[in-house]
Amino acid sequence: MKLLQVPVIDISAFSAGTAEEKQHIARQVDQACRDIGFLVISGHGVSPERIADMRRVSRAFFDLPHAEKARVARPAPDVTRGYIGMEEESVGRLRDANAKAGDLNESLMIGPVDLPPAAYAFAPEAGKHFAPNLWPEQPAELREVWSAYYREMGKLAQTLMRIFALGLGLEETFFDDKIDRHISRLRVRNYPAQIAQPVPGQIRAGAHSDYGSLTILAAEDRPGGLQVCNAEGVWVDVPIVPDCYIINIGDLMARWTNDTWVSTLHRVVNPPAGSGEDSRRQSLVFFHNPNYDAEISCIPTCRAEGEVPRYQPITSGEYLRNAFVTTQN
Ligand SMILES: O=C(O)CCC(=O)C(=O)O
Ligand SMILES: [Fe+2]
């Protein structure tokens, strides 16, 4: 039986657990990634204070006047840094070229906070993946709080990639050297309360799949939330469990696994009309991406002997650049 709802999985025993405990976690994660592409994790080890700090400084940023936020506006469509205003993006465009309505959220985004050696970070093949971050002047503590969170997400992603490796029948460390210079992005999305009615077809975030290896999302339980399209084509709500993260895999991971795992369509719907101020919602989203030069070619355990892989090898950096430029208005 395929999972049709997003499962909650406790990963706390992974780091110091027995081989059997690790396998148990990895098998549950493998099933979630095969069937629905999403899971909720408890026992991730990130402190509630760290998450609360992120929420607080990010909210203060979004409360600034537009002109102040625009000082760190994203410099170009393929430079995934800085501020993107309301309706400046339509994430639905990656799957549907006709998705025109702008998404009803604004966001701020950073990339790596600790650079590898310059010869690697600024090699021609690196493209803009190590472009400098654009730090707002206010609130003054944002830089420190976001940097610490970025580092912590990098560590949690490594643990998750180890669980993934075991789940895929690989050595636990299979992904380690492919993600040790990861080009991940941390993005906070602010979904303002909806006072005016959206135009027909316009929602908080259009139906899309994520691009990279995995996403770590701290969402809020507010009217107008996250839904995923399950294997029967039904939109189901993702449960918001206190102190848990929502994890999903992205297109690059699906490709890596030869579509053994699914990168699932998801969207953020509008709150019911009249929800008022209570419907303001903030998401902390960490998009984990492998090193730009990691070759994404069919993982050996993901195809039968003699079977031809579905996709050509491609580097992570090239794959991601193509995805970024498709969705910007
Ligand atoms: O805000 C959310 O719950 C999801 C956001 C999302 O899907 C994304 O940023 O890719
Ligand atoms: Fe997403």
DSSP string computed for 209-223: ---SSEEEEE----S
Which of 266, 284, 327 has most ligand 1 atoms within 8 Å of its beta carbon, as the pocket-test mutant? 266
Instruction: Supply the angle between the helices 142-167 and 48-62 in degrees, to the nearest 10.
Output: 130
Give the residue among 311, 302, 329, 327 at the shortest CA–CA distance from 252.
311
Pocket (CB within 6 angstroms of ligand 1): 189, 205, 210, 217, 219, 226, 266, 268, 283, 285
Residue 328 confidence (pLDDT): 54
Compute the Cα dihedral for 263, 265, 270, 271 and give only its sign. Answer: negative
Which of 94, 189, 281 has most ligand 1 atoms within 8 Å of its beta carbon, as the pocket-test mutant? 189
Ligand 2 centroid to 265 CA: how many Å? Answer: 8
Give the residue among 284, 270, 267, 129 at the shortest CA–CA distance from 209.
267
Q: Give the number of the atom of ligand 1 that is nearest the alpha carbon of residue 210.
A: 10
Residue 294 confidence (pLDDT): 98
Ligand 2 centroid to 208 CA: how many Å? Answer: 6
Complex ipTM: 0.99
Query: Which domains, from first to last, does the chain contain?
Result: 8-326 (2.60.120.330)
Query: pTM for this structure?
Result: 0.97
How far is the CA of 132 from the CAs of 79, 128, 315, in angstroms?
9, 9, 22
Ligand 1 centroid to 309 CA: how many Å? Answer: 30
Residue type, 125: E
* C-beta of residue 25 within 8 angstroms of C-beta of residue 165: no
Return the structure tokens found at 264.
């699932």
Q: Is 149 exposed, middle or buried (0-12, 13-18, 19+ CB in 10 A)?
A: buried
Residue 329 confidence (pLDDT): 46
Return the structure tokens found at 37.
């592409």
Residue 326 confidence (pLDDT): 65
Give Dmax (Cα) for the chain.
59
164-173, long-range: CB < 8 A, 24+ apart: 164/26, 164/29, 164/33, 164/214, 164/253, 166/22, 166/23, 166/26, 167/26, 167/27, 167/29, 167/30, 167/33, 168/30, 168/257, 168/260, 168/299, 168/301, 168/302, 169/301, 170/299, 170/300, 170/301, 172/22
pLDDT tens digits for range 83-128: 999 999 888 887 777 777 899 999 999 999 999 999 999 999 999 9
Give the residue among 12, 75, 33 at the shortest CA–CA distance from 215.
33
Contacts of 132 (CB under 8 A, 6+ apart): 81
Each residue's pLDDT expressed in tens, for the chain with a length of 329 residues: 899 999 999 999 999 999 999 999 999 999 999 999 999 999 999 999 999 999 999 999 999 999 999 999 999 887 999 999 999 988 888 777 777 789 999 999 999 999 999 999 999 999 999 999 999 999 999 999 999 999 999 999 999 999 999 999 999 999 999 999 999 999 999 999 998 889 888 999 999 999 999 999 999 999 999 999 999 999 999 999 999 999 999 999 999 999 999 999 999 999 998 888 889 999 999 999 999 999 999 999 999 888 999 999 999 999 998 887 665 54
3-class SS of residue 304: coil
Residue 327 confidence (pLDDT): 58
Ligand 1 centroid to 120 CA: how many Å? Answer: 30
Ligand nearest to the CA of 219: 1
Asked if residue 139 has a cis previous peptide bond (ω within 30° of 0), the answer is yes
